[in-house]
Amino acid sequence: MEITVKKSTMVYPAEETPKHRLWSTNLELLMTLHHVPTVYFFRPDGSSDFFDAKTLMEALSKVLVPFYPMAGRLGRDENGRVEIICNGDGALFIEAETDAVIDDFVGDTILSPDLWRFVPKVDYSADISSYPLILAQVTRLKCGGVCLGMAFQHTLGDGPAGIHFVNSWAEIARGRPLSAEPFIERYLLRARDPPTPTFHHIEYDPPLSMDVDSGFDDSDPQTTVSIFKITHDQLNNLKAKANKDGNGGNFSTYNSLAAHIWRCANKARGLSDDQATKLYIPIDGRSRLQPPLPQSYVGNVIFMAATIAKHGAIQSETFSDTAKRIKDILKRMDDEYLRSAIDHMEKVPNVKAPVRGAKGFQCPNLSINSWMWLPVYEADFGWGRPIWLGPARVSQDGKTYVLPSPVKDGSLSLVTSTVPEANSYRREENGEQNFAEKFATGRHFSLKANQTSDTNINPDRPQNAAPDESTTTAASHRPGGARYPVEGPETSNLATHNPDPMQPKNPPHHCIPGKHAEQTPPSPFGAIHE
């Protein structure tokens, strides 16, 4: 697949916006400095102005007024703490086209490993103040459809904040007022004085390692992405199975699904009975804190629930017992526990220490990151809702995402990233199926087979290519009063479209001065409610 960039435009707020430095909470400091990549696919509606660039840029310019931190840049205070410099320097909007068709990427499941190429790539080799925090790329496909690729810098906010921004942009594009104004006061998540953690926060302890005699190779394993559709009836069956003996009572669909995923993944990995395994579940703290934060809060309010158990214990207990483990850790995430977590982070000498990095969810660890309750399909820019959206790349072993159905039929899609051995693990004598076989309706593809293997890619180690000497930077030379005056190929200085990130070449004209770094995204975000 080839993608050709036609034009890049730096879009500025339509009105004057506040100029100040936005403090970062401890939760922001835990996040990667990279951008989170997501893709939205839209089928053509037959209109002559389908995804008109002028309409989209005008709406983006307007939404950057209430969401003014999105038009800022990263910086550091006198102590080196990352913060957002609210300076109105703008968001990058890219227009592109490709000879691919939408059905190459959207069907019963999403199988293409090329989704990341629809998202603008950012050069992280320069100072953190050098790149926009929001980058959007509208790629027109040969069939008339469109892919909107979004790069959302994680210091800005979490999944709910990112979805709120995109949906608000879509509302303005349709000519409607914002349904919820952004709330940008971050002082509500300050640590207490003095910080008084009252719990042992195992979620911020180092991830578990495989037993010494396991023979597991933890050196940047190749991963395989598997995608499964789980029907409404299958979800009901799981819930009924969890509730049949009443242990702990009234397990939710999510309790049941998470228990099933954890049991299947551990079985597929072939863990020994004595091997401890750790489950992580991201939690949206907005409604759990007291008083609750507004749902329109712009920032990171994602806490991590976690639990540890030996594989043998999980496999020998009833399904209801495993569901109860899930329910218990979610129930524990109340205001007292979350405030304790913030205080714990305040007392950590290096607040970045708990960040899990590239191997944080690697076997025997597992993360289940759900977008089930996010209003992800409300991004109607005036030409209909997206037919599919999701993370543009899933590269870390042990990462699992739960996505809602675009047709609201009660089904869910499960996206997993595991080493190939987990999908080829043979059945044991008891006839238990492996992870892929458990979800018999699923299909998978090997990143290596599609020449986009994630082997040896470290999200915190950019892959650099040689710079293009002819590239110039125009973003800082805009005339006053113009909304988005910096246009044309000469300003596409932050986006690159290298067909093979593992074999970097001289980047095209659309590249920032300096070394090009292929964006290896962090894990996309999400939120779980009990």
Over residues 356-369, the pLDDT tens digits come to 555 678 899 999 99
What the block records as the tokens of 387 is 């037919």
Catalytic residue among 34, 35, 154, 516: 154
Over residues 177-212, the pLDDT tens digits come to 999 999 999 999 999 999 999 999 999 998 888 886
Q: Please give the average per-residue pLDDT across 140-162, as a whole number.
A: 96
Judge contact between 472 and 513, C-beta under 8 A: yes
Containing 321, the helix (H) or strand (E) segment is helix 319-331
Q: Please give the average per-residue pLDDT across 374-379, as a whole number.
A: 94
Residue-level pLDDT at 375: 94
Which carries the bigger pLDDT value, residue 55 or residue 394?
Answer: 55
Residue-level pLDDT at 109: 56
Active site residue 260: no
Task: Say how many C-beta atoms besides its own lie within 10 A of residue 217's C-beta.
Answer: 10
Burial of 363 (0-12, 13-18, 19+ CB in 10 A): buried
Over residues 416-426, the pLDDT tens digits come to 877 755 544 33
Q: Which of 124, 42, 85, 9 lies closest to 386 in space, CA to CA?
A: 42
For residue 109, CA distances in Å to 112, 287, 387, 445, 482 come to 9, 32, 12, 11, 43
For residue 137, CA distances in Å to 96, 119, 146, 189, 507 come to 7, 6, 10, 33, 18
Catalytic residue among 104, 380, 509, 529: 380
Over residues 59-102, the pLDDT tens digits come to 999 999 999 999 999 999 999 999 999 999 999 999 999 999 99
User: What residues contact 360, with CB distance under 8 A and at least 6 apart?
Assistant: 207, 367, 396, 398
Judge contact between 509 and 470, C-beta under 8 A: yes
Which carries the bigger pLDDT value, residue 121 or residue 478?
Answer: 121
Active site residue 154: yes
Which carries the bigger pLDDT value, residue 494 or residue 250?
Answer: 250
Q: How far apart are CA 199 and CA 306, in angstroms?
A: 13
